[in-house]
Structure 1
Amino acid sequence: METYGKILLIAMPAFFVLVLFEKFWGVWKGQDTVPVTDMISSLSSGITNVTKDVLGLSIVVISYGWLFEKFSFFQIEASWLVYVIAFFALDFAGYWTHRIAHEYNIFWNNHIIHHSSEEFNLACALRQSISSIVKIFAVFLIPAALLGVPPQVIAVVAPLHLFAQFWYHTRHIGRMGFLEKIIVTPSHHRVHHAINPEYLDKNYGQIFIFWDKWFGTYQEEKPEIPAIYGVTRPVQTWNPIKINFMHLWLLIKDAWRAQKWSDKLKIWFMPLGWRPADVAQKYPVSKIEDVYHFDKYNSHLSQGMLFWSFCQLIVLLLLISYLFGNLAAIGTPGIFYYGGFVFLTVYAYSELMDRNPNAWVWELIKAVYAFYFVVTSGDWFDLNKFLPGSIYIFVGYLVISVGLSIWYSFRKIDFQLAN
């Protein structure tokens, strides 16, 4: 937990700088692929994901350590070759978990957030799940366990493998010659994120593209077919917490409404998009029929609302950095209370970004939640000890945040298109 938190203290600023670089690069080149609202939503999703992971808010059904202990045929030293084997094993496992997430209803809920952006940029790479509470990933690492790859090697390689999937989420890099035959490139991954019928559910590879070629899921990007991004059932929100559970909520409602008991059970394990016939007829859901003619989601924020939303993101990044750098000092259960504040903050300002007229209620709940800890302890998880005077800044932020949320929630003006 603490080690991962310290890694994120380095990784988060690096990712943020790269996202901003892509934004400014696109503006300079006349091809801006990073709308501000989309960027804030994506980065907010990343914050919720790493918070969940650092706090360990998941259940591992089968751990790699258990597999290694029960099934390893060999005991091998952690040489450079073992790290290479581990990297390939993780990528093999990643291919299959990724593919399953796209092919079955029950697993799509863990992945919809990653595809929810109707743009394709570095920021959308950070749209990662908080709904994957039960993890089965280790099952696909059985080959590594059989070969005797030590658990500590997997622990080192796994974050590197994850971070290495960031760079290819961009439209500013074209085809890459011979590398297209070996690794996943931006061209390959643009296909994967596209909802064009020709591209749908292709290129599941995470680092190496040959898995797709071997298992029949490869599709080359075609110049005459420009990729259109998003999901075929548009999420229509900037709120990453809502997005994480909307597919699950649809499945629950469909299972409840279905007349046949067999449909109530099998809906979870049927191919993605399958719905009971009686439910689909009585309760249709909005779906994109023509990918070349639909309106992207845009809540039409004013420049002031955009600026304030970005300020909220910056404040949260600073506060989450303090959490990750002081996990041991804050301790349990403090880190979980702090995590609750993080989730409330994201929910509140993303509701305001959606122009939900009740967004101010969530902001008020967040402030009351925070004030409880400030009043009862005289500090915000020892932040004032770390930086004298910071408690006054934090309280001021809470007051301003509530005030502006109420102002924007009730302000009756025509909002200009801001992005």
Structure 2
Amino acid sequence: MEAYGQILLIAMPAFFVLVLFEKFWGIWKGKDTVPMNDMISSLSSGMTNVTKDVLGLSLVVISYGWLSEKLGFFHIEATWVVYAIAFFALDFAGYWTHRIAHEYNIFWNNHIIHHSSEEFNLACALRQSISQIVKIFAVFLVPAAFLGVPPEVIAIVAPLHLFAQFWYHTQHIGKMGFLEKIIVTPSHHRVHHAINPEYLDKNYGQIFIFWDRWFGTFQEEVPEIPAVYGVTRPVRTWNPIKINFQHLGLLIQDAWRAEKWGDKLKIWFMPLGWRPADVAQKYPVAKIQDVYHFEKYNPALSKGMLVWSFVQLMVLLLLLSYLFGNLAAIGTPGIFYFGGYIFLSVYAFTELMDRNSNAWAWDLLKAAYAVYFIVTTGDWFELSKLLPGAVYIFAGYLLTSAFLSIWFSLRKEKLQLVS
């Protein structure tokens, strides 16, 4: 937990700087692929994901350590060869877990957040799941366990493997020559994120593209078929917490409404998009029919609201950095209370970006939640020890946030006219 938190203290600012660089690069080149509202939603999603992971809010059904202990035929030292084997093993496992997430209803809910953006940029790489509570990833690492790859090697390689998937989420890099046959490139991954019929459910590879070539899921990017991004059932919200549970909500509704008991169970394990015939007829859901002619989600926001949303994001980034850097000092259950504030804050300001009429209530709830801890402890999780007087600055921010949330909510109709 603490080790991962320390890694993120370096990774989070680095990713943030690269996202901003891509935006300014796009503006300079006349092709801005990073709209502010989309970027803020993506970065806030990344914050909820890393908070969940650092706090360990997941249930691992089978750990790699257990597999290694029970199945390992060898006990080998951690040489560079072993690290290379571990990297390939992780990528093989990543291919299959990724593919399964796209092919079965029950697993798509864990992955929809990553595809929910109707843009394709570095920021959308950070749209990662908080709904994946039960993890089965280690099952696909059986070959590595057989070979005796030590658990500590997997623990080091796994974050590197994850972070190495960031760079290819961009439209500013074209095809890359011979590398197209070996590694996953931006061209390959643009195909994967596209909803064009020709591109759907292709290119599941995470680092190496040859898995797709070997297992029949490869599709090259075709210049005559420009990629259109998103999901075929648009999420229509900037709120990453809502997005994380949208598909699950639909499955629960469909299972409840289905007349046949068999369909109530079957729906979970059927291919993605399958719905009981009776439910699909009585309760149709909106789906994009023509990928080249549909309206992207983009509720009109004033410049002031966009600026304020960005400020909210920056405040959260600072608070997360403090949390990850002081996990041991804050201790339990404090870190979980702190994490609760992060989730509540993201929910509140993305509801405001969605222009929902009850957004102000969520911001007041966020403020009340934080004030409770400030009043009962006299501080915000020892923040004043790092920066004297910080608790008063934080309290001022909470007051300002509540006021602006009410202000923007009440001006909703005027914003519609302006936009």
Give the TM bin, normalised by the shorter chain: over 0.9
Which runs of 5 or more structure 2 residues have no equivalent in the other structure?
none
Following the alignment from structure 1 to structure 2, what is the Cα–Cα distance between the partners of residues 13 and 265? 44
Matched residue pairs, number?
418
Matched, 1:359 2:359: yes
Following the alignment from structure 2 to structure 1, what is the Cα–Cα distance between the partners of residues 417 and 147? 60
Amino acid in the other structure paired with 2:180: E
Name the residue aligned to 1:264. Answer: 264
Matched, 1:28 2:28: yes
User: Retained in 1: the 8 A contact 2:301–2:415?
Assistant: no
Look up the SS of the partner of 1:413 in the other structure: helix
Following the alignment from structure 1 to structure 2, what is the Cα–Cα distance between the partners of residues 262 and 92? 34
Following the alignment from structure 1 to structure 2, what is the Cα–Cα distance between the partners of residues 244 and 414? 28
Name the residue aligned to 1:191. Answer: 191
Following the alignment from structure 1 to structure 2, what is the Cα–Cα distance between the partners of residues 298 and 194? 19
Name the residue aligned to 1:138. Answer: 138
Following the alignment from structure 1 to structure 2, what is the Cα–Cα distance between the partners of residues 416 and 238? 21
Query: What's the CA shift for 1:389?
Result: 1.1
Q: Deviations over 1:41-67 (max 9, x none)?
A: 000000000000000000000000000
Q: Deviations over 1:282-309 (max 9, x none)?
A: 0000000000000000011000000000
What is the CA RMSD across the aligned residues, in angstroms?
0.7
Following the alignment from structure 1 to structure 2, what is the Cα–Cα distance between the partners of residues 235 and 101? 17
Distance 1:133 1:53, change over 3 A: same
Matches within 5 A, 1:291-306: 291-306=291-306
Following the alignment from structure 1 to structure 2, what is the Cα–Cα distance between the partners of residues 249 and 274? 15
Matches within 5 A, 1:273-312: 273-312=273-312
Amino acid in the other structure paired with 2:337: Y
Distance 1:33 1:417, change over 3 A: farther
Amino acid in the other structure paired with 1:17: V
User: Retained in 2: the 8 A contact 1:233–1:286?
Assistant: yes
Amino acid in the other structure paired with 2:100: I
Following the alignment from structure 1 to structure 2, what is the Cα–Cα distance between the partners of residues 173 and 82? 32
Identity %: 82
TM-score by length of 1: 0.99
User: Retained in 1: the 8 A contact 2:288–2:294?
Assistant: yes
Following the alignment from structure 1 to structure 2, what is the Cα–Cα distance between the partners of residues 49 and 388? 30
Q: Deviations over 1:123-159 (max 9, x none)?
A: 0000000000000000000000000000000000000
Name the residue aligned to 1:105. Answer: 105
Look up the SS of the partner of 1:381 in the other structure: coil
Query: What's the CA shift for 1:385?
Result: 1.1
Amino acid in the other structure paired with 1:231: V
Which runs of 5 or more structure 1 residues have no equivalent in the other structure?
none
User: Retained in 2: the 8 A contact 1:302–1:416?
Assistant: no
Look up the SS of the partner of 1:4 in the other structure: helix
Distance 1:55 1:204, change over 3 A: same
Matches within 5 A, 1:68-217: 68-217=68-217
User: Retained in 2: the 8 A contact 1:301–1:417?
Assistant: no
Following the alignment from structure 2 to structure 1, what is the Cα–Cα distance between the partners of residues 184 and 415? 44
More deviation, 404-413/336-345: 404-413
Q: Deviations over 1:303-330 (max 9, x none)?
A: 0000000000000000010000000000
Following the alignment from structure 2 to structure 1, what is the Cα–Cα distance between the partners of residues 119 and 204? 19
Query: What's the CA shift for 1:414?
Result: 3.2
Look up the SS of the partner of 1:332 in the other structure: coil
TM-score by length of 2: 0.99
Following the alignment from structure 1 to structure 2, what is the Cα–Cα distance between the partners of residues 250 and 170? 31
Name the residue aligned to 1:413. Answer: 414
Amino acid in the other structure paired with 2:62: I
Name the residue aligned to 1:346. Answer: 346
Following the alignment from structure 2 to structure 1, what is the Cα–Cα distance between the partners of residues 236 and 2? 36
Amino acid in the other structure paired with 2:31: Q
Q: Deviations over 1:19-73 (max 9, x none)?
A: 0000000000000000000000000000000000000000000000000000000
Q: Deviations over 1:373-399 (max 9, x none)?
A: 000000000001110011111000000
Matched, 1:231 2:242: no
Query: What's the CA shift for 1:416?
Result: 7.2
Q: Deviations over 1:162-182 (max 9, x none)?
A: 000000000000000000000
User: Retained in 2: the 8 A contact 1:302–1:415?
Assistant: no
Query: What's the CA shift for 1:18?
Result: 0.1
Name the residue aligned to 2:13. Answer: 13
Amino acid in the other structure paired with 1:69: E
Name the residue aligned to 2:371. Answer: 371
Look up the SS of the partner of 1:268 in the other structure: helix
More deviation, 376-385/408-417: 408-417
